[in-house]
Amino acid sequence: MKPAATYMVTCIYHICFYCLKKEMAKMRKLITLIMACMMFCSIAAADTIDVTSMTIHDLQELQEQIGMELSQRVLKGQEVPKTEFTPSPGKKTLLIDDNDYKIYLTGKYNDSYGTFYAEAVCENYSGKALRAWMGDGNLDGWKLSFPVFFPEQKSGEKQKSSMIIQYTEAMMKSPSEMKTFIFTITTEDTEDEFGNVYKQYGPFTLHFEVGKWVKN
C-alpha cells in the first residue's frame, strides 16, 4: 500500500476509534441513569405495598416476616415503638415519644352525654406548628368518627386536651362496656399551604379498665 493511502487509513481508524470511545462513554452514562431510575422505582414500589391484592395466606406470611424482623431488632438492642397499652390511673401512658413530638394519656377522664373524654397532654418540639387528628377508630368492632384531637400548637408549646370516644356510636350505654379501642394519630403542618401530613403514628390499641381510671 502507498504511504498516502496508509496514512489515510490510519487517520480514518483513529477517527473511528475516537468516536466509538465517545459513544461508549455516553452509553455508560445512559446505562447508569437507567439503573438509577430502576432502583428508585423499586424503592418506591416497596414503600407502597398493595396488600389488597394479597391472599390471606400471603398476608399471614408477611405478618410472620414482620414479626420475626421486629424480634431480631429487639435482640439487637433496637427500640421498637410500643403501640398496645392498658392505661393506669396516676401514670402516664406514653403513646408517642418522638424526639420532636410527645402525646401521653394521664389516666383521668370525664364522661358526658355518651362521650368518653380521656385526658391527654401533647408536647411539640418539632420546630413546626402542628395539629393532631385521630382516625381509623374502632371501638370493639364499631367504626367511630372523630373531631380534632389537638388543635394548632406552636413548637415549644405544651397543651392539655382530650381523646374523645363517642361510645354511644358503638351502641354502648356506659364507658364500663368499652374493652378495646384501635386508632391512629396523624399530625399536620398547619403552616404548609398544601396541608401536607407531617407524620402518622399507630395504629394504637388501648385496653380499657375504666373502673381504674380517675374521674375529673
| pLDDT at residue 194 in the model | 72
Note the pLDDT of residue 137.
85
At residue 40 the predicted structure's pLDDT band, cuts being 50, 70 and 90, is very low
Continuous H helices in the chain: 3-47, 56-75
Distance CA 133, CA 201 (A): 10
Mean pLDDT of 29-50: 53
CA neighbours within 13 Å on the CB side: how many for 44?
6
> How does pLDDT run across 78-118, given as a tens digit for each residue?
555 678 888 877 788 889 888 889 999 998 889 988 899 99
Pair 119, 109: CB distance under 8 Å: yes
Q: Give this prediction's pTM.
A: 0.60
Asked whether the predicted pLDDT for residue 17 surpasses 80, the reply is: no
Task: Report residue 120's pLDDT band, with 50, 70 and 90 as the boundaries.
Answer: very high
**pLDDT tens digits, 187-204:** 888 887 776 788 888 888
Helix (H, G, I), strand (E, B), or coil: what is residue 6?
A: helix
State phi, psi for 202 to the nearest 5 degrees.
100, -165
| Average per-residue pLDDT for the chain | 75
Per-residue pLDDT tens over the stretch 61-80: 776 676 666 555 544 555 55
Whether the pLDDT of residue 11 is over 80: the answer is no
